Structure 1
Amino acid sequence: MPAAISQKYHDEIERDGFTIIRNFLSPQEIETYTKASEALVQYARDGKWAHCRTTNKQFPPWPKNTNPDIWGISGLLHPDLGDMSTPFHTLYADEKMLAIVCDILQVDKSQLSMELLNMLINPLTDFELDWHRDTIKPEVSPEEEAEDLLKFPYAGAQFNLALTEDSCLIAVPGSHKRVRTEEEREKTVDPSRRKEFISGQVVVDLHPGDLIFYNNNILHRAAYSSKNKRLTLHGSYGNVEQGKSRAKGILQHGVAEWLPRLNTDGNENLTMLKEKLMGLVKEFEGVDLGYALDG
């Protein structure tokens, strides 16, 4: 009989919309990934990496990076990063990371698919994101919202892994499984109110090595301070059985363009994850899926 899959993290996400795993990384791992991240940040700020999130735009598509004032770096598994990408291959395919994903999605490791691995960093000027759900536009009716929230809530698992002190993420616990209140709808639809305080919101405080997984349709936003160094790895994994529901949110980031060239260097887990995503890419080849959100 196969071993039963634990569901501690699944149950916490079901209840609150997120789960926090303290001290996920060892001090040595924090040092290793911090060094790799700092090198990549410098590379990007020097204008040598085009795939970045610029402070004048919240959601994809982002313009080609020509400005050091960026708040994120995309494509940490991208083959064009060469050796700079190697530590992130190790992290993304780590058994202890995949075990948590299996718990959350309640699937065996063989049912996981590669999705994205990016980095969130401190910009050079303060920057804030609006309140949003990652794959549901704010203008939808309450009926559409209720329907969309019920569709495949465990089709994927999204995370932030902090390498520095990080208090950027702001979320409304429990909002992942209900339609917005009148206050929440006003403050997500009206462009002038999308950064206002929402009743019940919490600021998620992460320390170096802490990991949070969250339902990406929880109401959330972020506030980035230029003064506080931020190195937070930000990524996701998919559930192969429900991959179609994730296609737009994942493929909008351009991963299909470089995935065939990804050299997994004999890493069995990464090879398996890549193959699963390749299947999704082939299924939607030539299809214009558009973008999940505007802004």
Structure 2
Amino acid sequence: MPAPIPHKHHDEIEQDGFTLIRNFLTPEEIDTYLEASDKLVQYAREGNWPAVRTRGKQFPPWPKNFSPDIWGISGLLHPDLHELSFPFHDLYANDRILAVVSDILQVDKSMISMELLNMLINPMTDFELDWHRDTIKPEVSPSEEQEELLNVEAFAGAQFNLALTDDACLIVVPGSHKRLRTDEEREKTVDPNRRKEHITGEIVVELKPGDLVFYNNNILHRAKYDSSKKRLTLHGSYGNVKHGKSRAKGILQHGVAEWLPRLQPRNEDLARLKQKLVDLANEFEGVDLGYAQEG
């Protein structure tokens, strides 16, 4: 009989909507990825990389016009980044992080699919994201929201932030991933004038360099970007191949299928993860899935 899969992180996400691992990276790893990230940020701010998240827009598609005032860089595994991407192959696909994902999804690592690896950075001017769930639009009625919450497989995927610098940007409402919004939450997610206001019970997920948080992407959350504080946080996700169809829109909307065939993984784990995503992309080839959110 195979050994049972640990479930500590799975259980914490089930209960609270997130799980926090302090000091996931060693000091030496932090230094390595800081150096790699600084090079990539400079490359992107100079206008050399089009896959960036421009300040002032929250969800894809992001504008094609270039501005150095960006809050994120997408496609860290993209082959067109060449050697700039190489350090992130090992970060995204290694036994330590895949063991955590296996715990969360409750599957063997052979059932984990590659999804996304991006970077969240400080913009050049302050910027705040609205309260939102990643895959459920705020305008839905309570009955529609309840149906979507029931139909979404909570462990179809695993989404994370891995901090390389001090990071106090992510704000969440614990436990909100598995219930309807309260009247206050509904008002502050629907009313465009109130989407950045304090919500009762919210907490700031404070990360130190090397800390890792995985969270359910339908927890009520937002982010507050202070342009004066350097932020380098790796932001990505993994999929459970059993539930690939439910993940397709949220992942393929980022254009990963366009460059995936050219990705040449630098380790065996990434090669296996890639093939799972290739299979999903092939299943939806030619299908316009649209975007999970607007704004």
Specify if TM > 0.5: yes
Distance in 2 (CA, whole Å) between partners of 1:171 and 1:39 is 30
Map Cα deviations across residues 100-157 of structure 1 (whole Å, 9 max, x no partner). 0000000000100000000000000000000000000001111111121122110000
CA contact (8 A) 1:49 1:65 kept: no
TM-score of the superposed pair, with normalisation by structure 1: 0.99
Q: Residues 67-78 of structure 1 correspond to what in structure 2 (within 5 A)? A: 67-78=67-78
Question: Which segment drifts farther, 230-239 or 138-147?
Answer: 138-147
What residue in structure 2 maps to residue 38 of structure 1? 38
Q: Give the CA deviation at 1:65.
A: 5.2
Distance in 1 (CA, whole Å) between partners of 2:19 and 2:87 is 25
| Unaligned stretches of 5+ residues in structure 1 | none
Q: Give the CA deviation at 1:64.
A: 2.3
Distance in 2 (CA, whole Å) between partners of 1:147 and 1:43 is 44
What residue in structure 2 maps to residue 239 of structure 1? 240
Distance in 2 (CA, whole Å) between partners of 1:207 and 1:125 is 23
What residue in structure 1 maps to residue 258 of structure 2? 257
Q: Residues 261-280 of structure 1 correspond to what in structure 2 (within 5 A)? A: 261-265=262-266, 267-280=267-280
| Unaligned stretches of 5+ residues in structure 2 | none
What residue in structure 2 maps to residue 47 of structure 1? 47
TM-score of the superposed pair, with normalisation by structure 2: 0.99
- Where in structure 1 do 4 or more consecutive aligned residues deviate above 6 Å? none
Map Cα deviations across residues 232-256 of structure 1 (whole Å, 9 max, x no partner). 0000000000010000000000000
Distance in 2 (CA, whole Å) between partners of 1:39 and 1:2 is 43
What residue in structure 1 maps to residue 174 of structure 2? 173
Residue 74 of structure 1 aligns to which amino acid in structure 2? Answer: S
Q: Give the CA deviation at 1:3.
A: 1.2
Distance in 2 (CA, whole Å) between partners of 1:257 and 1:65 is 20
Distance in 1 (CA, whole Å) between partners of 2:167 and 2:144 is 34
Distance in 1 (CA, whole Å) between partners of 2:245 and 2:262 is 22
Residue 264 of structure 2 aligns to which amino acid in structure 1? Answer: N
Q: Residues 10-21 of structure 1 correspond to what in structure 2 (within 5 A)? A: 10-21=10-21
What residue in structure 2 maps to residue 4 of structure 1? 4
What residue in structure 2 maps to residue 185 of structure 1? 186
Q: Give the CA deviation at 1:94.
A: 1.1
Aligned residues: 294
What residue in structure 2 maps to residue 132 of structure 1? 132
What residue in structure 1 maps to residue 97 of structure 2? 97
Q: Residues 206-245 of structure 1 correspond to what in structure 2 (within 5 A)? A: 206-245=207-246
CA contact (8 A) 1:47 1:65 kept: no
Map Cα deviations across residues 247-276 of structure 1 (whole Å, 9 max, x no partner). 0000000000000000013x1100000000
What residue in structure 1 maps to residue 86 of structure 2? 86
Residue 37 of structure 1 aligns to which amino acid in structure 2? Answer: S
* Identity between Structure 1 and Structure 2 (%): 74
Distance in 2 (CA, whole Å) between partners of 1:29 and 1:85 is 15
3-state SS of 2:249 partner: helix
Map Cα deviations across residues 139-192 of structure 1 (whole Å, 9 max, x no partner). 111111112112211000000000000000000000000000000000001111
Distance in 2 (CA, whole Å) between partners of 1:64 and 1:95 is 37
Question: Which segment drifts farther, 60-69 or 192-201?
Answer: 60-69
Question: Which segment drifts farther, 206-215 or 142-151?
Answer: 142-151
3-state SS of 1:191 partner: coil
